[in-house]
Amino acid sequence: MRLTLDAVSVRVAGATLIHELSLKVGSGEIVGLVGPNGSGKSTALRCVYRALRPSAGTVLLDDTDLRALALAESARSVAALTQENHTELDFTVQEVVALGRYPHSRGNRPLGERERELCRQAMDRTDIAHLADRSVLTLSGGERQRVLIARALVQEPRVLVLDEPTNHLDVRHQVRLLSFLRSCGLTVLIALHDLNLAASTCDRLAVLDGGSLVETGPPVEVLTPELIRRVFGANASVVPHPRTGVPQLLYELTDGEGIEP
């Protein structure tokens, strides 16, 4: 399924958070949104999973305007992991994961065998099967994050929207999650702060700054020392990964305030 943001703008309380953002994510492609704090990454993602309505422009699934779909219908195609997830109810892990089937459910019908198997597979993929009967209130931040990722997978989406999904995850689970994204075949739009992880995971990067798209393309073309200095205000050397060849950034610490000229 293709995802298209066509001249999307978001204005809130007189402030423009996103300005005419146009971006296409091809079927099965992974596109990463990168940029400094406040650049508009999360705002753009909220328009895709319908937490925000664009002030102008459209979001399309294939050729269908999201606004033409019922919420449950769009939720059967788009699953999201957001930064605002709060799980305060005393549910077990397997109960939270099973909530991912809600867009597909009719009434209070219990899960069928296929749906229970989907839940088991998602928990295996995210390494939480051993936590199935634990209360989510007893989990660490990283464990909760993996539960929410499993819940999103159980939706059986065709488009996956992820806002900083590696937050709270240790290195092993970061690598495991991003490796899964590379092989899952889903259309993925993901916001990441770690540019090295973004370069290793994404087919293309879209760099946002001040709510506008300033650069897009393959990581090897986008991640240059000049762009890092201009957009992120940091000095970095860019070297190829010794095994994969993807660009990796080596940051330079500076004395005092600011960056070197």
Average pLDDT over residues 197-219: 97
In this structure, are 187 and 145 located in the same domain? Answer: no
pLDDT at residue 261 in the model: 47
Write the CATH number for 3.
3.40.50.300
CA distances from 250 to 201, 224, 231 (A): 18, 11, 16
Q: How far apart are alpha carbons 153 and 79 in whole angstroms?
A: 8
Do the domain assignments include residue 124?
yes
As beta bridge partners, residue 81 has 162
Say whether 33 sits in a helix, a strand or coil. Answer: strand
pLDDT of residue 181 exceeding 70: yes
In this structure, are 71 and 106 located in the same domain? Answer: no
Lookup result for tokens 């219990």: 110
In this structure, are 35 and 101 located in the same domain? Answer: no
Q: Which of 100, 127, 155 is the last residue of a domain?
A: 155
In this structure, are 100 and 145 located in the same domain? Answer: yes
Residue partners of 13: CB distance under 8 A and separation at least 6: none
Residue partners of 93: CB distance under 8 A and separation at least 6: 123, 128, 131, 132, 133, 134, 135, 136, 139, 147
Q: What is the pTM of this model?
A: 0.92
DSSP string for residues in 149-175: HHHHHHT--SEEEEESTTTT--HHHHH
In this structure, are 168 and 67 located in the same domain? Answer: yes
Number of domains comprising the chain = 2
In this structure, are 73 and 105 located in the same domain? Answer: no
In this structure, are 166 and 144 located in the same domain? Answer: no
Enclosing domain of residue 41: 1-77+157-222
Asked whether the beta carbons of 66 and 147 are under 8 A apart, the reply is no
Percent of the chain with pLDDT over 70: 95
Tens digit of each residue's pLDDT (9 = 90 or more) over 126-162: 999 999 999 999 999 999 999 999 999 999 999 999 9
Q: Of 68, 85, 19, 60, which Cα lies nearest the Cα of 189?
A: 60
In this structure, are 62 and 173 located in the same domain? Answer: yes
